[in-house]
A and B are shown apart, each in its own frame.
Chain A
Amino acid sequence: MESGKNFIVGIFDDESVLLSAVKKVRGSDVKIHECYTPYPVHGLDDELGYKRSRISIAAFMFGITGTCLAFLMMIYMMGIDWPMIIGGKDHIAIPSFVPVGFEVTVLLSALGMVGTFFVISNLKPYGKPRIYDIRSTDDKHVMAIDLAKNSKSSDELNAILKDSGAVEINEKKF
């Protein structure tokens, strides 16, 4: 974690105020570092200009990998390495490989996607989050603005935040 970074932290009471505030703040040429909310606020990602998450593509790729691995494994084991006749079925009987193929697809897809989510969002056991305001996991919405990334002074930012409905404005150093 870099040290000596200064943030202006605006605290909001309500999601609809936050949404309009994000619009206003971005409209007055201020770069928002990130917003922190106690629950998923719908439409916030659009207001902040975030693109749609591509994590579902990761899930699909992991799923396809699972299907292929499962079928290759079963075909190799039952058909190539040690072929046996069981219940009069073909050695490589695709219909009886479907259930396991499906389960492995789901398993790999789910685990792969969640693993990807943890890695890209930097979530790990005993991960240390940067907390701008401790109430952001309870009932307050928090907007953090990085002073170094904006040309405006902290007084100007304070005024913009106040104007857009922040109930409290703090400065936070990391």
Chain B
Amino acid sequence: MEVTSPVREVLVTGNKTYHDVSHDICRHVEAKPNPKWMAAMALSLGALFVGGYALAITLWDGIGMWGLNKTVGWAWDITNFVWWVGIGHAGTLISAVLLLFRQKWRTSINRAAEAMTIFAVICALLFPLIHTGRPWLSFYWFVPIPNTWGSLWVNFHSPLLWDFFAISTYFTVSLVFWYIGLIPDFATIRDRATNKISKAIYGGLSFGWDGAAKTWQRYETVSLVLAGLATPLVLSVHTIVSMDFATSVIPGWHTTIFPPYFVAGAIFSGFAMVLTLMLVTRKVYNLEDYITINHIELMNIIIMITGSIVGVAYITELFMAWYSGVQYEQYAFLNRATGPYWWAYWSMMTCNVISPQLFWFKKIRTSLWATFILSIVVNIGMWFERFVIIVTSLHRDYLPSSWAMFSPTIYDMGIYLFSFGLFFTLFFSFAKFFPVINMAEVKAVLKSSSGEIENKK
């Protein structure tokens, strides 16, 4: 039996009944799209098409359209890739790690956070794929297929290949986890549906779910085991992403601190993105009773903790550069802070180390506007972090004659815009056609009526 401490605050406010939960969430799926939603969708489709032009030109003419040069061979594309993958860490962290720790407040936010994760990973996958130059051949470079089909076997000693396996596994497992949770809710929508088309669509998606006790029992076991599998998985993904850098011999990349530092940074930026999206969704869909200030405060605390870990990692890096006595390493860090890219370094420091410290003040971490602004600031900082790591380490080559600067072309920027268009198009479609909150799990933590019935006896 579950024991719920009476001291804990209620997770869902407003004295909701079970039917209220179904109604509050399903009505957005059932209603016609509202004009605000249409405007937002039009905006993201616009970004998708404008950015799509940059993508098409890149595919047609090659990645020479980007601002890369011989010295800086990785820049915005890998920055964007790592940034999106990092954002894609919060969803599975919320649904898996918080499930294992029995943090019940996750039930109101896990659905949207997982959706965001999946869409962020799709955006991330786009960048390495187009950076191969000929994505239609990348099948031969990533997937181990026999020699007679392609070139040689893929190289399993390479972290780039580990990354392919890590991210495709992460994507698949997150998608499966998300879908398993959606099935009971699709069944609710199916049974409420009044018109034939939505009955057919949600009937198909709900896989014939009937809510039998035996199925629920298996469902809970499956969720728990998936959470157990996804927890090391989510930690492995950014660890392996960091190994793309850490296993090289470039000053500023070649450090053992990278895996934990990247994982903390990923959770940091992921939670920030969840907050950015949830604050808007909450407002537009009137979900104030489900996503309470308490939820927002808890997420802000996680941002504060992971932000502090990131801050400690930055300082450790500086210390290790000095303490190692390696002049290349020392120069790399001196150049980051005082070289031509100082503005990127200090933007990163301000956004990632200083701004989350504001959440020590209860007033700030319970303020919606402050949270919204800081959640965006954090993600700006995290983008700069990857830019600083990648570009400042590369732009000073070993020979001063090869020193160079990187400046993005409109195609670099266009593809970044494309990824935003893709992300928001997917997210808005999700918010309209899928239940944004896990109804079944919220009902399970509601427990509002149990007390009343107990009193009647």
B152-186 at interface with A (beta carbon < 8 Å): 152-159, 161-162, 165-166, 169, 172-173, 176-177, 180, 183-184
From A14, A59, A73, give the contact of B449 (CB < 8 A): A14
B138 within 8 A of A: no
* Stretch touching chain A among B34-42, B203-211, B328-336, B338-346: B203-211
A124 interfacial by beta-carbon distance below 8 Å: yes
Contact B18 A50 (CB under 8 A): no
- Does B147 touch A at the CB level, under 8 Å? yes
Give the distance to chain A from B210, nearest Cβ to Cβ, in Å. 4
CB distance A106 to B169 under 8 Å? yes
Please pick, from A63, A78, A131, the residue contacting B156 in the complex, using a CB distance under 8 A: A78
Docked complex Cα distance between A14 and B223 (Å):
24
B70 within 8 A of A: no
Cβ of A83 to closest chain B Cβ, rounded Å: 10
Q: By the criterion CB–CB under 8 Å, are B453 and A77 in contact?
A: no
A38 vs B192: C-alpha distance when bound (angstroms): 13
Closest to B174 in A: A110
Residues of B with C-beta under 8 A to A15: 450
Do B204 and A125 have beta carbons less than 8 Å apart? yes
Query: Which stretch of B282-290, B308-316, B353-361, B439-447 is in the interface?
Result: B439-447
Q: A122 contacts B176, CB within 8 Å?
A: no
Does B172 lie within 8 Å of A114, measured CB to CB?
A: no
Within the assembled complex, what's the spacing in Å between the Cα atoms of A162 and B44? 55
CB of B394 within 8 Å of the partner chain: no
Q: A129 interface residue, CB < 8 Å from B?
A: yes
- State which size class the interface on A falls in: 35 or more
- Closest chain A residue to B226, Cβ basis: A110
From A63, A122, A136, contact of B211 by CB (8 A):
A136
Q: Which chain A positions have C-beta within 8 A of B220? A: 40
Question: Could you tell me the distance in whole angstroms from the C-beta of B423 to the nearest C-beta in chain A?
Answer: 24
B157 touches A14 (CB 8 A): no
- B184 surroundings in chain A (CB, below 8 A): 38-39, 137
**Cross-chain contact B191 with A114 (CB below 8 angstroms):** no
When distances are taken between beta carbons in the complex, the residues of chain B under 8 Å from A117 are 180, 218-219, 222
18 A-B contacts, Cβ less than 8 Å apart?
A14-B453, A16-B454, A38-B443, A40-B216, A48-B214, A50-B214, A53-B218, A56-B225, A99-B165, A100-B161, A100-B165, A103-B169, A104-B165, A110-B230, A118-B207, A124-B208, A134-B191, A138-B191
Contact B225 A107 (CB under 8 A): no
Binds A, one of B55-63, B232-240, B271-279, B403-411: B232-240
B300 at the interface (CB under 8 A from A): no
Contact at B18–A37, with CB atoms within 8 Å?
A: no
9 smallest A-B Cβ distances: which pairs? A127-B208, A139-B18, A129-B210, A99-B162, A39-B443, A123-B207, A77-B153, A39-B444, A139-B19
A8 at the interface (CB under 8 A from B): no
Number of A-B contacts (CB under 8 A): 206
Q: Mark A92-121, 1 if CB is under 8 A from B, else 0.
A: 010011011011101101110110011011
Report the nearest A residue to B212, measured CB to CB. Answer: A34
CA distance A42 to B190 in the complex (A): 25
Q: How many residues of B contact A (CB 8 A)?
A: 71
Please classify the interface of chain B as helix (H, G, I), strand (E, B), loop, or mixed, using the class held by over half of its residues.
helix
B454 touches A114 (CB 8 A): no
Contact B180 A114 (CB under 8 A): yes
Assess whether B222 is in contact with A55, with CB atoms less than 8 Å apart: yes
Residues of A within 8 A of B47 (CB): none
Closest CB of chain A to B182's CB: distance in Å?
A: 12
Report B's interface with A, CB cutoff 8 A: 1-2, 17-19, 22, 144, 147, 152-159, 161-162, 165-166, 169, 172-173, 176-177, 180, 183-184, 187-188, 190-192, 203-205, 207-222, 224-226, 229-230, 232-233, 236, 240, 243, 439-441, 443-444, 449-450, 453-454
| CB contact list, A31-49 vs B, under 8 A | 34-45, 48
Q: Do residues A40 and B229 form an inter-chain contact, with CB atoms below 8 A? A: no
Q: Are A113 and B225 in contact (CB under 8 A)?
A: yes
Q: Are A126 and B203 in contact (CB under 8 A)?
A: yes
Contacts of A36 in B (CB 8 A): 210-213
Q: Are A137 and B216 in contact (CB under 8 A)?
A: no
Q: What B residues does A16 contact at CB under 8 A?
A: 450, 453-454
Q: How far is the CB of A14 from chain B (nearest CB, A)?
A: 5
Which residues on B sit within 8 Å (CB–CB) of A113? 222, 225-226
In the complex, which residues of chain A have a beta carbon less than 8 angstroms from the beta carbon of B211? 36-38, 136-137
Asked if A173 is an interface residue, CB under 8 A from chain B, the answer is no
Chain A residue at smallest Cβ distance from B154:
A77
- A59 and B443 contact, CB distance less than 8 A: no
Measured in the bound complex, the distance between the Cα atoms of B180 and A100 in whole Å is 25
Asked whether B1 lies within 8 Å of A42 as measured between CB atoms, the reply is: yes
Choice from B176, B225, B236, B449 contacting A102 with Cβ under 8 Å? B236
A138-B19 contact given A78-B157, A81-B153, A110-B226, CB 8 Å threshold: yes
A16 to chain B, nearest CB (A): 5
Q: How far is the CA of A27 from the CA of B311 in the complex (A)?
A: 61
